[in-house]
Structure formats: structure tokens, C-alpha cells
Structure 1
Amino acid sequence: MPEEVPVALVHNGSTFAVMMATPTDLEDFAWGFALSEGVASIEDLGEVEVIEHEAGIEARMWLPEARIAALNARRRAMVGPVGCGLCGIDSLEEAGRKVPTVAGGIALSETDVALALDELRDWQPLHDETHAVHGAGFYVPGSGIVMAREDVGRHNALDKLIGAMARDGIDPATGAIVLTSRLSLEMVQKAAMAGAGLVCAVSAPTAHAVRVAEAAGMTLVSRGRGGIAVFSHAHRIKESDHVL
């Protein structure tokens, strides 16, 4: 069975959020969460101190004082269960936050998309052991999946991937984010905040997620019954015959 522990994301000495997560790759998690929540830029982020306690784990980092207002605006006041990406947000405005427009990005063929979704399974050792975790990977044409992260929570897995890519200097516009989960609203928001133009998933998106992706210029793709289903900005998918 996978582990699931409270992980407190502590910024400037104050707890910003407590998420139930798999206790691996927590430095990546701290970076990715800060970036995908829009409370910091890559230039703001530095060393993460991981402190284990009897009750859980703290991932501590310091951000510039200029980021305090953004922190307070996105602060989460309660523990976030693994299946809930917006738990603790205390205003409707913050739940429906605007995301930046994603320009450029690569194009993939339908074959690339199918290959990316299939290859991600090879990067999920924890899933092979437990059959109870999600995965998020980054696919580069010609190279395949070059990086992946796992977690009991789909949002956490994506945050870990975003953080790992940022720490390694990988531009999300040079490939596609690949997910084992459905494309819910916050998954699209997080990918857009990271600058990803193309997101592929095993399950279809929600209607609201598609609207956000359309406005942000993102391409959403999933594996459909008849092949590949493209839900927004189909110009990034070459030879796609299954456009909804």
C-alpha cells in the first residue's frame, strides 16, 4: 500500500497548506506547488528544508517579502484530501482564478500522443507495486518520457513534476505533460501556470476545464474509444481525425 502522510508546505515560517501526499520527491513538490499556485516565480525559489515530525512532514522554504500578498491570497486553511484540488480555498474568486495565456509549444502526432500515454506506465514503479497512485510525466518527441513523478493525489503528482522540471531547467513548452488522471479544472490551471501548451491524459476533461484551456490557448487531449480525442486548440495535434 502507498504511504499517505500530512505534508505541510511552510513559506517564510508560516504554513501555507497541508496536503495529504506520498512522502517522496518533496523538494520537487514544494517548488511545483509554489509555481502552480502562482505564489512565486522560479527566480524566487531556493533550497527546501524537509523536516520530519511524528505527526507528518514539513517542507520549508523562504520567499521574498514581495510575495507575501500572493501567499495570503492563495492561502489554504484546511487539510487537502488527496482527491480534492481546491479544498481550503476560501473564496469563489480564488477557486476560479485566471491563468496566463500559453503561447507557442510543440505539435504532436496522434502516434506521439498514444506513445506518450503508453510509455508513462513504464515510469510508475510505485503504481506497479501498489496499483493505488497517479503519475505525471513529461514527453519530448524523439526522446519519449524524460521525467515522471508519482503520488496518491493526482494534483500532487503534477506539482511534483512541475517542480522537478523547474529545478532541472526544463521548459514545459518543449514537450507535453502526460497524466494518468482525468483533466479536472485545477489540473488545467496548474499546467497553464507552468507554461505547458499541451496536456495529454488517459481520461476526458470536464467541460469547465475545456473552457479554461480554450481561453488559455492550451491543447487538451485524451485517449478516446475510437482513438485520440482533442478537446481544445487542435492545431498542436497533427493528423488528428477525432476532434470533439
Structure 2
Amino acid sequence: MTDLAPTFSPTAASGFTRVAAGGERSAIDRTVAEEVPIAIECNGIAYAVLMATPDAIEDLAFGFLLGERLIDAATDVRGVDVHRGEPGIVVRLALAKRVAERIGDRVRHRNSDASCGLCGVETLAQALRPLPQAARWDGSDAAIFRAYAALRDHQPFNAATGAVHGAAACTRDGTICLVREDVGRHNAFDKLIGAMARTRQDWDGGFALLTSRCSYELVEKAVLARCPLLATISAPTRLAVDRAGEAGLALRTLVRADALLAT
């Protein structure tokens, strides 16, 4: 499978009026991030609609399905078709027979505004399903500081718009080896996880660095992707800390150039 070239530009130029504190006005052009509905269909069943940046579409779909536990590996997807519709994109995926029954168990009856994993869930037990044990992290925090210092240079969409999250896969020593961007923090991480799954890359003692707060669903995505450590530049929620503790996932949050919070 090869990724589809974007049918929409991930960014677009728009005209704005700049208003200064003193009341002065001036016309300016500014690049803005695109955000479009992306429908996910599995074996002919409409499953979810995500609002996302139209880039790395197949990566997003694969990562989303992994986070939803509809598939266990990229090989569970037997075919994928990306189709531009109006006003967005439709991704049709054919899943292997062994996982096909999972679709009915989690089929959605309403749209979601991000790949948070809760829309359409009907019970608390479904919302907080048990997590597997995370891979053990035995690296150095110095690697996280190194990755943080380099991350800005790996975010071209955010550099252009100032409105896009990034998710980076980092090696054990903090070298950034893969980045995906999206207006949604969940989507950016799904794109990264999907890209790694499709190319059969593993974490190999490395970690993920995200430009977002540490919410519980990002913790769950990290654990299910077998990521040993999740680092974020903003603070964690209580549930994120609790879920990470249950799964044994190492967390580093409030990452800055001179300090971070270890959990």
C-alpha cells in the first residue's frame, strides 16, 4: 500500500485583518491549517468520522483502528481505498476475517470530533477497558531533553500555521526519526502509530514525544502501540496518570528545555 498524495492542501492562505492594541488595522495574509471530515469505513460499515488535517490519511486510519482495538497489526488490513468526497475524505478498509466481528461490537452511531475513542461507547466498562502491560522504559531523561530541543525543526505545518500538534517517534538517545502532524493531538499520534505499523517499525527502546497535554486516551494509545515511554509538553490529567500507572507506562510531562515532570 502507498499513501495517497493529499487531495487537499494541509495548509491554505487566507486574508485577515490585524488589529493592534491601539486600534490600528492592517490587511495581512496568513497560512492556516486545513481541517476536514474524514470518514472511516470498515468492511462496508460506517464506523467514525474524524475532523483532521488531510495529510498521511492511511497512517491516520491504521493508527485509529489500532487504538480502537479493531486490529492488532497492520497485516489485519487486507485492503484500503482513500476517496475524496464532498466535503471531505472517505477511507474504506477491508479487515481480515479474524477481526471482522469486532466492528459490530464497537460500531458507532454518531460522528466524533477527534479520535478520542469514546463516542459511541455505551458503558463505563467499555470506556475504561483493561490495558496490557507496557514495555519497560530504561532510558535516560537526557534523551527527552534532546528530542524536545529538536522537535520544532521537524514541524513544518506548525511552523507555517502555529495551529498544528506534532507527534514524534524518538530513538533511545533522543534522535527524532519520524514525525506526524495534525490539528488534533489524537490524530497526530494515530498518524505516527499508523506510520510505524505500516512500515513495521517498533520503538526499540525509544519513546514518543507529543506537543499536547497528556490525556488518558493518549496514554492508552501509547500502551496499545507498545511504546515504553510517553512524553508531552503539557500537564497530565489525573486519569492519564492513573491509567499509566495501571499499565506500567513511564510518563514525562511538562517537558521544557530545563525541566520535566517524571511520573
Query: 1:207 is matched with which residue?
Result: 238
Report if aligned partners of 2:203, 2:228 keep a CA contact under 8 Å in 1. Answer: yes
Distance 2:94 2:199 in 1: 20
Distance 1:8 1:114 in 2: 37
Q: Residue 124 of structure 1: CA displacement?
A: 0.8
| TM-score, length-scaled by structure 2 | 0.82
Query: 1:242 is matched with which residue?
Result: none
Distance 1:191 1:224 in 2: 17
* Greater mean alpha carbon deviation, residues 77-86 or residues 16-25: 77-86
Provide structure 2 residue ranges, at least 5 long, that are not aligned to the other structure: 1-31
Q: Residue 85 of structure 1: CA displacement?
A: 5.1
Alpha-carbon deviations, 1:138-162, whole Å to 9, x = none?
0103461000101111100000000
- Say whether residues 1:92 and 2:127 are aligned partners: no
- Say whether residues 1:62 and 2:109 are aligned partners: no
The structure-2 alpha-carbon separation of the partners of 1:29 and 1:84, relative to structure 1 and needing over 3 Å to count, comes to closer
- SS where residue 260 of structure 2 aligns? strand
* Greater mean alpha carbon deviation, residues 156-165 or residues 143-152: 143-152
Letter of the aligned partner of 2:238 in structure 1? A
- SS where residue 172 of structure 1 aligns? coil
Identify which of 93, 96, 111 aligns with 2:142.
111
Query: 1:147 is matched with which residue?
Result: 178
Report if aligned partners of 2:211, 2:234 keep a CA contact under 8 Å in 1. Answer: yes
Provide structure 1 residue ranges, at least 5 long, that are not aligned to the other structure: 232-244
- SS where residue 114 of structure 1 aligns? helix
Distance 1:137 1:229 in 2: 19
- Say whether residues 1:165 and 2:189 are aligned partners: no
Q: Which has the higher helix share?
A: 1
Report if aligned partners of 2:37, 2:88 keep a CA contact under 8 Å in 1. Answer: yes
Moved over 4 A (4+): none
Number of residue-to-residue matches in the alignment: 230
- SS where residue 108 of structure 1 aligns? coil
Query: 1:79 is matched with which residue?
Result: 111
Q: Residue 187 of structure 1: CA displacement?
A: 0.5
Distance 2:192 2:244 in 1: 19
Report if aligned partners of 1:204, 1:222 keep a CA contact under 8 Å in 2. Answer: yes
Identity %: 42
Alpha-carbon deviations, 1:196-225, whole Å to 9, x = none?
110111012111111111111100101367
Query: 1:50 is matched with which residue?
Result: 82
Distance 1:45 1:185 in 2: 26
Larger Rg: 2
- SS where residue 111 of structure 1 aligns? helix
The structure-2 alpha-carbon separation of the partners of 1:85 and 1:117, relative to structure 1 and needing over 3 Å to count, comes to farther
Distance 2:173 2:255 in 1: 24
- SS where residue 220 of structure 1 aligns? strand
The structure-2 alpha-carbon separation of the partners of 1:75 and 1:119, relative to structure 1 and needing over 3 Å to count, comes to farther
* Greater mean alpha carbon deviation, residues 69-78 or residues 81-90: 81-90
| TM-score, length-scaled by structure 1 | 0.88
CA RMSD of aligned residues (A): 1.9
* Greater mean alpha carbon deviation, residues 116-125 or residues 18-27: 116-125
* Greater mean alpha carbon deviation, residues 95-104 or residues 51-60: 95-104
Distance 1:79 1:18 in 2: 5
